Amino acid sequence: MVPPEPVAGSATRKGIRGNRPRLRGDTAAKPPVTPQKKRVLFVCIGNSCRSQMAEAFARAYGADIMEVRSAGTDPATYVSPLTKQILAERNLNIDGQFPKSLELLTTESFDFLINMSGYSVSLPNARVLTWVVPDPIGQREEVYRAVAAQIEGLVMRFILELRSDHPVESSAR
């Protein structure tokens, strides 16, 4: 059946249904429901190498599913130049980053605390994951490269676990 043509001088009809309401409810496009981002804190001793690397990789690869910060149990006074160099070679710029104390972040809430310090560290309501990663401070450039590659792999695996339905492992090497 073809809808009748509008009569001259009458209101124009919209579509086949005219101005009648839809029978199946509103089918207007709704924004997709996105899960809330996980808040992740990476911790090492000086917040000058390992946790800075992890934060940079997590921001670059997992910004869609997590908000990240980094801190140190005993923060250094500056980010290691080799850390900046190794990350810059991977097109990751951390010039605005600086070492932060874990104590400064204790008032914030985190879903995960990823501990690379070798010490016992925890925060209320945060699931603690332990990553055994050697501290490259004071070592040769090759050590920094190896540590960065290890951390990049761990961060990528963590991101994939967050994106999947698989539980996140409590420790990694």
Who wins on pLDDT, 171 or 124?
124
Distance CA 92, CA 113 (A): 22
The CATH number of the domain holding residue 141 is 3.40.50.2300
Q: Is residue 106 part of a domain?
A: yes
Instruction: Give the residue-averaged pLDDT of 106-133.
Output: 95
Indicate whether 15 belongs to any domain. Answer: no
Quote the domain boundaries for residue 107.
38-172
pLDDT greater than 60 at residue 62: yes
In a domain, 152, yes or no: yes
Question: Based on the structure, what is the number of domains in the chain?
Answer: 1
Could you tell me if residue 14 is inside a domain?
no
- 106-124 in b/e form (b: 16+ CB < 10 A) is eeeebbbbbbbbeeebebe
pTM of the model: 0.78
pLDDT at 166 over 70: no
